[in-house]
Amino acid sequence: MPRLIYTLLLLLAAPIVWLWLLSRGRGGAAAWQPWAAERFGRFPQPWDGRQPVWVHAVSVGEVRAAKSLIQALALKGETVILTHLTPTGRAEGQRILTDEIRRGQVWQQWAPYDFQGSMRRFWQHFNPRLVILIEREVWPNLVHVAREQSAPIVLASARLSEKSLKQARWIDRLFGGLLHDTYQGITVALAQSDADAQRLFDAGVAQVQVCGNLKFDMQLPHVAVQAGQHWRQRLARPVVAIASTREGEDKPMVNQIKAYLEASHGAKPLFLLIPRHPQRFNEAARLLDGASCRYARWSVLRDDPASDEHLKAIDVVLGDTMGEMPFFYGAADIAVVGGSFERHGGQNFIEACAIGTPVIVGPHTYNFADAVASANQAGAIVQVQSPEQAFEQVKQWLVSPEAAQHVGSQGKSWVINHLGATERMMQAIVELEGGVSETSASAHEQRQQ
């Protein structure tokens, strides 16, 4: 009954969501394709009969994190069905897994809506033998249908914040244990940390292992990082990246840039303002216009042979492209990582640390709580409480670059010390499948007797 009520509410909410998508800029519903047949589990072409591994990575961050695991599965000879909810996630998957897609090892699809009919049609078409959900994508009908088909479900690089656990318990009180029953359906959760493991167990997952965070194993493209470093050398001025800003963060950051530039005398750094989502690029441009900042769009600069000369006359580059964060982090002397100055839970700061770029984050980092605590303890980042404090730290580091370099070096060492999540997860998956095979064989023997 709780799952039925959930499904009915999902059906009622769907038209509102679709109307909202129609109103969005930068592609809107055309980019999201909310009425695509595959979102309803319908596919015009038959599948070839191979039982694939289904990996669900909802958006950009999850796709990037899942890359090493997907590549390890492909090396093992698996065929992977990779599903997404967002167009940015789908585009990122296409970009970073080009070779695997070309070789037919990875097939991209929109994730089916979590309607029971959509999930069952998806299953009838692909018949996956294993489901891997990245980080926290636990959906009631998906889990229910997978369990109906006796397919093991792995929650990989699993995380569950204290806030999310409280929300799950509130939903369970409202819907009669809906999420507890769903978490019970997870075969094994491969958690990022001991704290995540305990919360996942409390949420209902019976089998939990701590394997670490896949984001530590992300291999940033060396060519892009090196290109960013060479670009910085040509500029001959410090570069401060304000990266992955979310809703409500661009305005205070632009105000801080303006105040810094007005108070500064002599050589000024070049600021990179990089919104997290493409639909907010134009909004960020309007804020820069309103603050009378001299800026240029990266989408124009990167293809301009005279861009080095143009850069001398501006103070801000608006990062209005996708997939170029390794270049920007390579170019940056300092990275202020957004998503953490408003209540969004933080964005991935590990990429910048892996390069050795000194990192500043804000107070709201519950999506990365354990990683932030560990990085703070290692002296690998600096955490502040506001954009004003972030810019105070920027000023200090620009005056004393050796202090910034020390934090960057600590960050790089911290990342190296946390490598290996992919290998541990692959081992856990192999052991899981071995156990499932033995159980199936035993059940078959009992039926024969």
C-alpha–C-alpha distance, residues 317 and 296, integer Å: 5
> What is the band of 12 on the pLDDT scale with cuts at 50, 70, 90?
very high
Q: Which of the residues are catalytic?
A: 62
Q: Is the pLDDT of residue 447 over 50?
A: no
Are the C-beta atoms of residues 162 and 202 closer than 8 Å to each other? no
Structure-model confidence comparison of residues 35 and 1, the more confident one: 35
Tell me what pLDDT residue 441 has.
45
Q: Is the pLDDT of residue 264 over 90?
A: no
Sign, CA torsion 18/22/25/30: positive
Q: For residue 86, how many other CB atoms are within 10 A of its CB? A: 19
Sign, CA torsion 144/145/150/156: negative
Tell me what pLDDT residue 362 has.
98
> What is the band of 444 on the pLDDT scale with cuts at 50, 70, 90?
very low
Q: Is the pLDDT of residue 330 over 80?
A: yes
Q: Is the pLDDT of residue 32 over 90?
A: no
Closest CA to 159 of 113, 127, 195, 183: 195
Tell me what pLDDT residue 17 has.
85
Phi and psi based region of residue 245 (left: phi greater than 0; alpha: psi -120 to 50; beta: remaining): beta
| Neighbour-count burial of 48, counting CB atoms closer than 10 A to its CB (0-12 exposed, 13-18 middle, 19+ buried) | exposed
C-alpha–C-alpha distance, residues 438 and 428, integer Å: 15
Domains delineated in the chain: 33-42+50-218+420-430 (3.40.50.11720), 222-416 (3.40.50.2000)
Phi and psi based region of residue 26 (left: phi greater than 0; alpha: psi -120 to 50; beta: remaining): left
Share of the chain above pLDDT 90, in %: 82
Tell me what pLDDT residue 443 has.
43
Determine the residue type at 147. Answer: R
Residue 188: strand pairing partners: 154
Tell me what pLDDT residue 448 has.
46
Residue 179: strand pairing partners: none
Tell me what pLDDT residue 308 has.
82
Question: What is the tens place of the pLDDT at every residue in 222-233?
Answer: 999 999 999 999
Structure-model confidence comparison of residues 277 and 209, the more confident one: 209
For the sheet containing 208-210, what is the strand order?
106-110, 80-84, 53-56, 130-134, 153-158, 188-191, 208-210
Interhelix angle 2-23/140-148, rounded to 10 degrees, is 130
